[in-house]
């Protein structure tokens, strides 16, 4: 029997854009691992990757959304529309929010999370 049951998802393991296109196959792989190898690290990590890829495919990626202002200010600085000070301010503000977020996430575990 040849491979291909999951449309050769392993070939695309290192290519995020291809994994996004194949998020259905990745989700099926996660479900298969959870069924066939419950509680395994491979099942857990495949589910996590699948969930992250699905979030990217749906445009729900809070980490990049949180960086949007930084990216905006750096882009405008490099374009000559703003000075470096505006970019530095955005970077500093992001750092403060990131510290607060990490402090919150250090004790908060979403439902179904195994830490």
- My answer on whether 105 and 70 are in the same domain is yes
| Count of domains observed in the chain | 2
Q: Are residues 88 and 51 in the same domain?
A: no
Q: Are residues 55 and 65 in the same domain?
A: no
Q: Are residues 26 and 65 in the same domain?
A: no
- Read off the pTM: 0.58
Q: Any residues with CB less than 8 A from the CB of 90 and at least 6 apart, and which?
A: 69, 70, 72, 73, 74
Q: Is the same domain home to 90 and 102? A: yes
Instruction: For residues 50 and 102, state if they share a domain.
Output: no
Sign (positive or negative) of CA dihedral 91, 96, 99, 105:
negative
Same domain, 4 and 36: yes
Radius of gyration of the chain (CA): 19
pLDDT digits (tens, 9 = 90+) for 6-39: 888 899 888 888 999 999 999 999 999 999 999 9
Q: What local confidence, expressed as pLDDT, does residue 104 receive?
A: 54
Note whether 84 and 77 are within 8 A (CB).
yes
Q: Answer yes or no: do 41 and 25 share one domain.
A: yes
């Amino acid at each position: 029997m040849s491979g291909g049951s999951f449309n050769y998802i392993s070939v695309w393991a290192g290519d995020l854009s291809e994994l996004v296109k194949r998020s259905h196959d990745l989700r099926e792989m996660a479900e298969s691992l959870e069924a066939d190898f419950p509680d395994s690290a491979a099942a857990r990590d495949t589910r996590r990757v699948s969930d992250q890829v699905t979030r990217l495919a749906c445009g729900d990626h809070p980490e990049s959304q949180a960086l949007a202002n930084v990216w905006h200010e750096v882009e405008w600085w490099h374009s000559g529309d703003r000075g470096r000070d505006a970019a530095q301010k955005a970077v500093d503000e992001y750092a403060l929010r990131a510290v607060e977020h990490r402090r919150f996430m250090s004790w908060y575990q979403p439902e179904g999370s195994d830490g």
